[in-house]
Amino acid sequence: MSGSLIVVGLGPGTAQWITPAAQAALDAATDIVGYGPYVDRVPERVGLTKHASDNRVEVERAAHALQLAADGRRVVVVSGGDPGVFAMAAAVFEALEAGPREWLNIPITVEPGITAMLAAAARAGAPLGGDFCAISLSDNLKPWEIVTTRLRAVLAADLVICLYNPISKARPWQLGKALELAAEQRSSETPVLFARAVGRPDESLRILTLAEAVTAASTADMATLVMIGASSTRLIAREGRPPYVYTPRSVAKMPCATSQGRT
Amino acid sequence: MSGSLIVVGLGPGTAQWITPAAQAALDAATDIVGYGPYVDRVPERVGLTKHASDNRVEVERAAHALQLAADGRRVVVVSGGDPGVFAMAAAVFEALEAGPREWLNIPITVEPGITAMLAAAARAGAPLGGDFCAISLSDNLKPWEIVTTRLRAVLAADLVICLYNPISKARPWQLGKALELAAEQRSSETPVLFARAVGRPDESLRILTLAEAVTAASTADMATLVMIGASSTRLIAREGRPPYVYTPRSVAKMPCATSQGRT
């Protein structure tokens, strides 16, 4: 029997956002490997072995999955969101690159999923209507100076900015610092989304100004996707309901430094 | 009867990447509105009216959809990929903002989808393993100088760069120019993906070096997603099959200017 490995994106939470291709991979698996909360999303069934691991052991987890596949199992590695976006796909290829040559014979497939920024954007309206970027705020895997260098570049380029891994117990101040950097270059009225647990029962969507977001940074958590609008991002007010947030597709010119900025 | 409007992402092409939530919206619609090729993907059925329109009339199309919803229809606006990424969601909110106040009472929902860069990344391995951006190369909606300003910024910041709308009959030279800009700042060996029609029967994935991509720019088309690797993006060779492309999650430091760059 020849094994295989599929890296599957479960989407942000609800089964309604799991693609049929991802579901088919889950249904055919003999082994599910992943971070505990994602493995928990896959129902138990006869013939399925679940291997849950702690957070922050991604490459060890990936190597374990590759070895199971090399041993002939049909292995699915699960990620939340999309596996290619700050998730398990890169860890699998890191483990593959460092591992025994025979692993190169394992058929490896990546099944895309709905990543958090797409889900958050959909809930808010169309904040990703223009050019945008996705940056992980975690400085576990890169120096903080690289994070700030990148933030300054994309702020100057007026991209909408999606911040993954914005905050954790071990990284309590980075999000506040990132939002302060944004406030140096963008208007204090710029819309900022704190989209938490989108697609799950405890979903919440907060639409703040950049000035409010700086103050509220510590109220975000690891389940929050933070999105900082571009200079053209704006609100459409509605009676009795939160406004829509959207970024027009057209750009007339680059913004000038704001009155808040570069003083 | 009270109408509604749902903006749905059909994903890149295969039904295996349409989420159950998107499918449910399609199944409940009375009217499908969109660009012809996307409307064609939705099967005919009794009770469903399809309204196909030409390309580049997005806001008129969106206004038509909003009026149908205001008239009490259950309208679905279809986009390829994700509707929030260079697609119909922003056009709907532009039309809403410019339209009659009564349209604000229409329940509007956006259903996310698998956008082209996630599908292309999945096919290649894990090229989006680090920070990345999505930029539309079309200068129909923004001046070309903004495109190049943004490209220079994200090149300097060492992000992986996903180029949407890379080329068309009316915009034949922009992709070549963008790749030349990239070659000024990144190594000529940087992996570049030309991912065409991913998820469709005529799918093709080409893995080039940046130097090759500059030469091959005119072989891309509107169905191609172009992805330019970061300095750390690399290949894992396999016998008899194309290499995997991946970007490690870790970044040690910002790259220096290459021997090709900034001369």
CA distance A50 to chain B (A): 23
Point out the residue among A119, A135, A248 whose CB comes nearest to the CB of B94.
A248
How far apart CA B152 and CA B157 sit, in angstroms, is: 9
Reported ipTM:
0.96
Q: Percentage of chain A surpassing pLDDT 70? A: 97
Across the range A10-17, mean pLDDT stands at 95
Q: What is the pLDDT of residues B52-69, one digit of tens each?
A: 998 878 999 999 999 999
B/e letters for B71-104, b = 16+ CB within 10 Å, e = fewer, are eebbbbbbbbbbbbbbbbbbbbbbbbeebeeebb
Amino acid (one-letter) located at A202? D
DSSP-based helix, strand, coil % in chain B, nearest 5: 35, 25, 40
Q: What is the pLDDT of residues B21-32, one digit of tens each?
A: 999 999 999 999
How big is the A-B interface in CB pairs under 8 Å?
Answer: 225
CB contact under 8 A, A141 and B251: yes
What's the CA angle centered on B210, arms A159 and A254, to 5 degrees? Answer: 20
Half-sphere exposure of residue B247: CA atoms within 13 angstroms, side-chain side? 30
CB contact under 8 A, A131 and B129: no
If we measure between CA atoms, which residue out of A60, A48, A18, A53 comes closest to residue A34?
Answer: A53
CA distances from A92 to A67, B62, B157 (A): 11, 42, 25
CA gyration radius, chain A: 20
Yes or no: say if B121 and B81 are a contact pair by the CB < 8 Å rule.
Answer: no
Amino acid (one-letter) located at B161? I
CB contact under 8 A, A156 and B159: no
Binding-face residues of B in 129-168 toward A, CB within 8 A: 129-136, 141-143, 146, 149-150, 153-154, 156-159
How far apart CA A14 and CA B257 sit, in angstroms, is: 44
How far apart CA B33 and CA B53 sit, in angstroms, is: 8
Q: Where are the alpha helices (DSSP H) in chain B?
A: 20-28, 36-39, 58-70, 88-98, 116-124, 144-156, 174-185, 210-216
Best mutation site among B135, B149, B200, B246 for testing chain A: the one with the most A CBs within 10 Å?
B246
Across the range B115-138, mean pLDDT stands at 97
What is the end-to-end Cα distance of chain A in Å, rounded? 67
Yes or no: say if B231 and B156 are a contact pair by the CB < 8 Å rule.
Answer: no
Half-sphere exposure of residue B113: CA atoms within 13 angstroms, side-chain side? 33
CA distance A156 to chain B (A): 8
Yes or no: say if A137 and A147 are a contact pair by the CB < 8 Å rule.
Answer: yes
Q: Which residues on B lie below 8 Å from A134 (Cβ)?
A: 131-133
B/e letters for A63-90, b = 16+ CB within 10 Å, e = fewer, are bbbbbbbbeebbbbbbbbbbbbbbbbbb
pLDDT at residue A193 tops 50:
yes
Yes or no: say if B119 and B11 are a contact pair by the CB < 8 Å rule.
Answer: yes
The answer to whether A93 contacts chain B (CB < 8 Å) is yes
Across the range A139-159, mean pLDDT stands at 96
Model confidence, pTM: 0.96
The answer to whether A13 contacts chain B (CB < 8 Å) is no
pLDDT at residue B97 tops 50:
yes
Sheet of A125-126: strands edge to edge? A125-126, A241-246, A234-238
Q: Cβ-count burial of B181 within 10 angstroms (0-12 exposed, 13-18 middle, 19+ buried)?
A: middle
Best mutation site among B150, B234, B254 for testing chain A: the one with the most A CBs within 10 Å?
B150
CB contact under 8 A, A141 and B96: no
How far apart CA A230 and CA A246 sit, in angstroms, is: 10
Phi-psi region of A226 (alpha: psi -120 to 50; beta: other; left: phi over 0): beta
Q: What is the pLDDT of residues A83-142, one digit of tens each?
A: 999 999 999 999 999 999 999 999 999 999 999 999 999 999 999 999 999 999 998 899
CA distance A251 to chain B (A): 5
User: Is residue B241 classed as helix, strand or coil in its secondary structure?
Assistant: strand
How far apart CA B86 and CA B138 sit, in angstroms, is: 10
Best mutation site among B56, B128, B160, B198 for testing chain A: the one with the most A CBs within 10 Å?
B128
Cα B258 to chain centroid distance, Å, stands at: 29
Across the range B10-37, mean pLDDT stands at 97
CA distances from B176 to B16, B158, B179 (A): 33, 19, 5
pLDDT at residue A261 tops 50:
no
